[in-house]
């Protein structure tokens, strides 16, 4: 949407400007129905195209694709890794322990830009606040309490950051 354009242009600049290579992962939408991950990827790619930003999708939607060397290669060649929206627990369950996730972590540590929107942003925090628990979460907290995503071990890159999952 237009209100995000200035922020996305800044991120694009941080990722290398005209040399930036964006990879969009619609993983969090993998369980949202047939064709939904492809639709989410297309929306993101179309938006990046309007910003004259080079972008491609990495269709990581299950354990097999999360360990596919072709998907890993796409991550390695990106300067901006973008996790799109959907369901945080789905994103976590597909990514956890996968070759793609290990590559994302390594590339982030090496200085590449890692950005999330919606579920993609939520998964980057250590805790998620789920006021109504709209989808299954680990049984480590009652409603209205922060929930760790991975059985006490954060998958998060930002320890101490609390995010919100609103229905």
pLDDT on residue 119: 79
Question: Is the pLDDT score of 127 beyond 80?
Answer: no
| pLDDT per residue as tens digits for the range 11-57 | 888 889 999 999 999 999 999 999 999 999 999 999 889 888 999 99
CB distance 86 to 118 below 8 Å: yes
Q: pLDDT (tens digit, 9 = 90+) per residue, 74-109?
A: 999 999 999 998 888 788 889 888 999 999 989 988
Mean pLDDT of the chain: 79
pTM, full prediction: 0.80
Nearest 10 degrees: CA dihedral of 32, 138, 156, 1? 30
Q: Which residues pair with 57 in a beta bridge?
A: 24
Instruction: Tell me how far CA of residue 85 lies from CA of 10, 116, 153, in angstroms.
Output: 20, 8, 22
Cα 19 to Cα 10, 33, 74, 111, distances in angstroms:
14, 34, 15, 15
């Amino acid at each position: 949407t237009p209100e995000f354009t200035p922020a996305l242009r800044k991120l694009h600049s941080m990722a290398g400007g005209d040399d930036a290579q964006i990879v969009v992962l619609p993983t969090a939408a993998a369980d949202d129905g047939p064709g939904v991950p492809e639709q989410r990827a297309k929306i993101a790619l179309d938006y990046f195209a309007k910003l004259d930003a080079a972008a491609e999708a990495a269709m990581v939607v299950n354990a097999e694709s999360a360990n596919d060397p072709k998907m890993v290669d796409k991550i390695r060649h990106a300067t901006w890794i973008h996790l799109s929206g959907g369901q945080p627990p789905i994103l976590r369950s597909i990514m956890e322990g996968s070759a793609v996730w290990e590559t994302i972590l390594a590339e982030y540590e090496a200085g590449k830009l890692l950005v999330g929107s919606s579920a993609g942003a939520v998964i980057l925090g250590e805790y998620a606040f789920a006021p109504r628990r709209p989808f299954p979460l680990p049984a480590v907290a009652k409603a209205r309490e922060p929930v760790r995503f991975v059985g006490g071990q954060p998958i998060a890159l930002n320890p101490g950051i609390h995010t919100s999952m609103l229905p």
